[in-house]
Amino acid sequence: MVRQAHHDSHPEPVERFLNYKNNTKMKVTDIQKIDERETRGGFGDGLHELGKMNPNVVALTADLAGSLKMNAFIKDFPERFVQCGIAEANMMGVAAGLTIGGKIPFTGTFANFSTGRVYDQIRQSIAYSNKNVKVCASHAGLTLGEDGATHQILEDIGLMRMLPNMTVIVPADYNQTKAATIAIADYKGPVYLRFGRPKCANFTTQKFEIGTAQILCEGTDVTIIACGHLVWKAIEAGKILAEQNVSVEIINMHTIKPFDSEAVLKSVAKTKCVVTAEEHQRNGGLGDAVAQVLAINNPTPMEMIAVNDSFGESGTPEELMQKYGLDTPQIVSAALKVIARKN
């Protein structure tokens, strides 16, 4: 497939990729960082690739083209770029209207302005109307950093996954954000794509498929299910736990909706306990989605790494992740705690 060639064009260790494809058992210690990149850069590069591949793809922004890394697209495809100014509600409606005529609009602004600010516009003009709009949201969560709580939305996954017709994707790194950006253009219907601001570990090499969770490594003692920036932290935690002879299975749950319940249930049947990790409120996020599946199908001891009903604040991303309990040591502690709860 031509399209595949594009999003797999990033340099990657071929042998490891083959390992994944053959689904042979990867160890957590085998997972290595390729480099450090911004997930929003994956969006910008994916969008630029899409510009070349699909003439119907159009990009919109509300005065944040640079922050969303849209510049390459704008330079090469100026006639397919729509500047909306600081008026996000209108941007969502314009995006819905662009689908009439066959365009595939990608809106780009910060996650806060992509969701909470425009919830009713998304609900009526995009989700209920089932328009082929891709709501692409950067600077999600605490890792936005110094700008503080006004911009650090921690409720967006919940807001979007409650909407019927909406697909919700939270890629883990640069590679996956690029792959997801390209994939959603061919996926009919409204999509919320959430990514972030800072540079972080870039490590995914598996083929990205909407709605199919990725088992990054297999284990038997505990399942860690994470999304977004927390996936790499889960891997770091897994490496520490491996030193303590704890066997960890890590699931990259990049698609929050539709939710891959089967992957969760299969893993839990083996490990009998779960930790979820996300850069989001505990209410409404990935942990809630996992808890729902488990409560209905197979009640299982579970711990949740998430922000617990509070707003963020100014600080560096690292400081904030530490203060709000979203860091590697907290995942390690949660894993040990939930393992102890099994008995």
Partner 1 sequence: MSPDIAQLEKTASQVRRDILRQVHGAKSGHPGGSLGCADVLTALYFRVMQHNPDFKMEGKNEDVFFLSNGHISPVMYSILARAGYFPVKELSTFRKLNTRLQGHPTTHDHLPGIRIASGSLGQGMSVACGAAFSKRMNGDKNLVFSLHGDGELQEGQIWESAQFAAHHKLDNLISIVDWNLQQIDGPTEKVMANGDLEAKFKAFGWSVVQMNGNDMFDVVSTLERCKENVGDGKPQMILMKTTMGFGVDFMMHDHSWHGIAPNDEQLANALAQLPETLGDY
Binding of residue 183 to partner 1 (CB under 8 A): no
Q: How many residues does the chain have?
A: 343
For partner 1, the binding residue among 47, 98, 135, 334 (CB under 8 A) is 98
Query: What residues pair up with 37 in beta bridges, in sequence order?
Result: 200
Query: How far apart (Å, rounded) are the C-alpha atoms in residues 316 and 147?
Result: 10
∠ CA 113-196-307, rounded to 5°: 85
For partner 1, the binding residue among 18, 21, 100, 188 (CB under 8 A) is 100
Measured distance between the N- and C-terminal CA atoms of the chain, rounded to whole angstroms = 49
Q: Which is nearer to partner 1, 95 or 334 (CB)?
A: 95
HEC letters along 75-119: HHCHHHEEECCCCHHHHHHHHHHHCCCCCEEEEEEEHHHHCHHHH
Q: Which is nearer to partner 1, 104 or 338 (CB)?
A: 104
Ranges assigned E (strand) in the chain: 35-38, 57-61, 81-83, 104-110, 134-138, 167-169, 191-194, 199-202, 214-217, 222-226, 248-252, 255-257, 274-281, 302-307
Candidate segments 3-11, 31-39, 76-84, 265-273, binder of partner 1 by CB under 8 A: 76-84
Q: How far is the CB of 149 from partner 1 (least distance, A)?
A: 24
Question: Per-residue string for binding with partner 1, 127-166, x by CB under 8 A?
Answer: -xxxx-----------------------------------
For partner 1, the binding residue among 26, 53, 72, 89 (CB under 8 A) is 89
Binding of residue 67 to partner 1 (CB under 8 A): no
Binding of residue 84 to partner 1 (CB under 8 A): yes
Active site residue 15: no
For partner 1, the binding residue among 21, 71, 76, 87 (CB under 8 A) is 87
Q: Which is nearer to partner 1, 125 or 202 (CB)?
A: 125
CA neighbor of 106 nearest in space, from 177, 203, 29, 8? 177
Alpha-helical (H) ranges within 162-243 are 174-185, 230-243
Q: Which is nearer to partner 1, 67 or 130 (CB)?
A: 130
Query: How far apart (Å, rounded) are the C-alpha atoms in residues 73 and 49?
Result: 8
Q: How far is the CB of 105 from partner 1 (least distance, A)?
A: 8
Q: How far is the CB of 107 from partner 1 (least distance, A)?
A: 11
Question: Per-residue string for binding with partner 1, 102-131, x by CB under 8 A?
Answer: xx-x--------------xx-xxx--xxxx
Q: Are 120 and 290 in contact (CB under 8 A)?
A: no
User: Kind of pairing, strands 302-307 and 274-281?
Assistant: parallel
Q: Which residue in 38, 49, 88, 278 is the catalytic one? A: 88
- Which residues are catalytic, by number? 88
- Please give the residue ranges that form the binding site for partner 1 (CB under 8 A): 58, 79-80, 82, 84-85, 87, 89-103, 105, 120-121, 123-125, 128-131
